[in-house]
């Protein structure tokens, strides 16, 4: 039995202050959450081609294409697996979070490049780390707890 | 806590330097008393989604990173606490640490003995797939919690803590959202269990 509904997908790939929130149509097929391939191409910018999942010139090979793609769309779990990205999925809540891969997050750190970010202060004013280029920066991370 | 150092070096000393503060908390309101008490002339931002902990692969607070003029990490994830109790806990002598920062900012000493040492320290702490999976569960939990879906949120926070038990940012940072007290005996038990498994809650850098 197939049921079509929508799911909120949090795309945590970028370095934005909050994950990008996407509302995607999803079909539940044998327990798999499938998003139409054209929606994946438009919203997540990954297109299924004969050579694999492609974004521009970059293609990632897909080991199990029948599991990834059916007429109903691309299985989110298989998509995350192929892209080596973590997926937290909660179909009961109609929400999922697609994070960044360990490799993508680790690469700049291994090269000793300070990842840039922009976040708000108490008043809501945004501050970007790279605005302080030309200065030495002591980055301090705390929590109130 | 770092205001005196920022004032001394950047404002009085006129050196190209700033402290940049990040509060990794569940909401803005929790950070307000802390930020107001800091009376900082440097930026302090609020990071409810743990973006900075994720980008820098941080597991605990307080955490420090030294970044040079070109935006390169001169000294990877480090720890220092300026009060006596905290200093003992993390085994870093506050006065000596501040002197190291001063010498680096004044150009009198490097941030670490060598760039190779910095690379080695960075390589010790690169994110694993399980840690990134934990962060995806955290992100989903935080989103649900912000929408008053507390029970569902708690399930994803629990999954996150199982995937990355030594990630104190997640373990302790989500306790209030799971109906637990991060300052109470529950945290002591968690910290003890983590230590027993051989994880270090802090990594003070030794040259």
Buried b vs exposed e over A2-28: b needs ≥16 C-beta within 10 Å?
A: eeeeebbbbbbbebebbbeebebebbb
Pick A139's closest partner by Cβ from B20, B119, B155: B20
CB count, 10 Å around CB of B176?
18
Q: What is the mean pLDDT of each run of 10 residues along chain B (207 residues)?
A: 95 98 96 96 97 95 96 94 86 92 97 95 95 98 97 97 93 94 90 86 82
Q: What is the pTM of this model?
A: 0.95
Q: Do A127 and B20 touch (CB under 8 A)?
A: yes
The token pair that represents B68 in the structure block: 């040079």
Record: contact B25-A145, CB cut-off 8 A: yes
Residue A1 has pLDDT above 60, yes or no: no
Three-state SS sequence of B102-140? HHHHCCCCCCCCCHHHHHHHHHHCCCCHHHHHHHHHHHH
Task: Give me the sign of the Cα torsion angle B132, B200, B203, B93.
Answer: positive
Question: Shortest Cα distance from B197 to chain A (angstroms)?
Answer: 23
For residue A137, list its beta bridge partners: B18, B67
User: Would the CB atoms of A122 and B28 count as touching at under 8 Å?
Assistant: yes
Contact A93 B144 (CB under 8 A): yes
Give the residues across from B18 on adjacent strands: A137
Strand partners for A58: A55
For residue B11, what pLDDT is reported? Answer: 98
For residue A18, give both structure tokens. Answer: 């909050």
Please, are residues A142 and B31 in contact by the beta-carbon 8 Å criterion?
A: no
Q: At what angle do helices B115-124 and A102-110 cross, to 10 degrees?
A: 160
Task: Provide CB contacts within 8 A for A65, sequence distance 6+.
Answer: A48
Q: Do A141 and B52 touch (CB under 8 A)?
A: yes
Q: What is the pLDDT of residue B9?
A: 98
| CA–CA distance, B47 with B172 (Å, rounded to integer) | 15
Q: Report residue A115 as tokens.
A: 């990842």
**Which tens digit of pLDDT belongs to each residue from A70-79?**
999 999 999 9
Give the best residue of B15, B26, B55, B178 to mutate against chain A (max A CB count within 10 A).
B55
Q: Note whether A46 and A55 are within 8 A (CB).
A: yes
* Statement: residue A48 has pLDDT above 80: yes
Query: Residues B154-205: pLDDT tens digits?
Result: 999 999 999 999 999 999 999 999 999 999 999 988 888 888 888 888 888 8
> Residue A84: closest CA among chain B residues belongs to which residue?
B129
Contact A108, A101 (CB under 8 A): no
Residues 6+ apart with CB under 8 A from B159: A88, B134, B137
**What local confidence, expressed as pLDDT, does residue A3 receive?**
66
**Which residues in chain B are closer than 8 Å to A85, comparing Cβ atoms?**
132
Is-contact B98 B5, C-beta < 8 A?
Answer: yes
B178/chain A closest Cα distance in angstroms? 14
- Gyration radius (Cα) of chain A, Å: 18
Give me the pLDDT at residue B199, please: 82
Option in B22, B30, B129 nearest A119 (CB): B22
**pLDDT digits 0-9 by tens, A86-106:** 999 999 999 999 999 999 999
Cα torsion angle, B1, B3, B6, B12, sign: negative
DSSP B197: T
CB-CB neighbors (< 8 A) of B72 in chain A = 112-114
Q: Could A112 and B144 be called an inter-chain contact, meaning their C-beta atoms sit closer than 8 Å?
A: no
Say whether A141 and B63 touch across the interface (CB within 8 A): yes
What's the gap in Å between the CA of B51 and the closest CA on chain A?
Answer: 6
Which residue shows structure tokens 């996150």? Answer: B160
Q: Nearest CA of chain B to the CA of A80: how many Å?
A: 11
Chain B residues touching A102 at Cβ < 8 A = 126-129, 131-132
Strand-pair category, B17-23 with B44-46? parallel
Mutation to test the A interface, candidates B27, B51, B100, most A Cβ within 10 Å = B51
Which residues from chain A sit within 8 angstroms of residue B64, using beta carbons?
138-141
Report chain A residues whose CB lies below 8 A from the CB of B156.
Answer: 88, 90
Q: How far apart are CA B57 and CA B126, in angstroms?
A: 7
Dihedral angle of Cα B138, B141, B146, B152, to the nearest 10 degrees: -170
């Amino acid at each position: 039995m197939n049921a079509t509904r929508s799911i909120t997908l949090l795309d945590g790939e970028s370095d934005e202050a909050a994950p990008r929130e996407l509302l995607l149509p999803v079909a539940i097929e044998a327990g798999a959450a499938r998003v139409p391939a054209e929606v994946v191409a438009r919203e997540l910018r990954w297109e299924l081609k004969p050579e694999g999942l492609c974004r521009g010139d970059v293609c990632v090979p897909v080991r199990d294409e029948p599991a990834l793609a059916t007429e109903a769309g691309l299985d989110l779990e298989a998509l995350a697996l192929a892209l080596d990205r973590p997926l937290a999925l909660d179909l009961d809540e109609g929400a999922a979070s697609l994070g960044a891969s360990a490799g993508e997050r680790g690469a700049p750190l291994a090269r000793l490049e300070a990842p840039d970010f922009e976040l708000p202060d108490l008043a809501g004013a945004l501050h970007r780390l790279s605005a302080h280029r030309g200065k030495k920066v002591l980055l301090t991370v705390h929590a109130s707890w | 806590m770092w205001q005196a150092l920022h004032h001394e070096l950047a404002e009085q000393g006129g050196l190209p330097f700033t402290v940049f503060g990040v509060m990794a908390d569940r909401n803005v309101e929790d950070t307000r008393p802390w930020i107001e008490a800091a009376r900082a002339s440097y930026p302090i931002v609020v990071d409810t989604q743990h973006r900075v902990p994720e980008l820098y692969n941080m597991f605990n607070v307080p955490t420090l990173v030294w970044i040079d003029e070109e935006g390169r990490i001169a000294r990877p994830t480090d720890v220092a606490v300026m009060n006596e109790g905290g200093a003992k806990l993390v085994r870093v002598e506050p006065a000596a640490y501040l002197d190291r920062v001063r010498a680096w900012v004044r150009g009198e000493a490097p941030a670490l003995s060598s760039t190779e040492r910095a690379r080695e320290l960075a390589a010790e702490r690169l994110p694993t797939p399980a840690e990134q999976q934990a962060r995806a569960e955290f992100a989903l939990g935080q989103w649900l919690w912000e929408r008053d879906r507390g029970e569902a949120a708690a399930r994803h926070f629990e999954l996150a803590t199982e995937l990355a038990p030594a990630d104190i940012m997640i373990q302790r940072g989500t306790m209030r959202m799971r109906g637990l007290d991060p300052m109470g005996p529950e945290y002591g038990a968690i910290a003890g269990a983590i230590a027993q498994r051989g994880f270090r809650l802090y990594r003070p850098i030794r040259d």
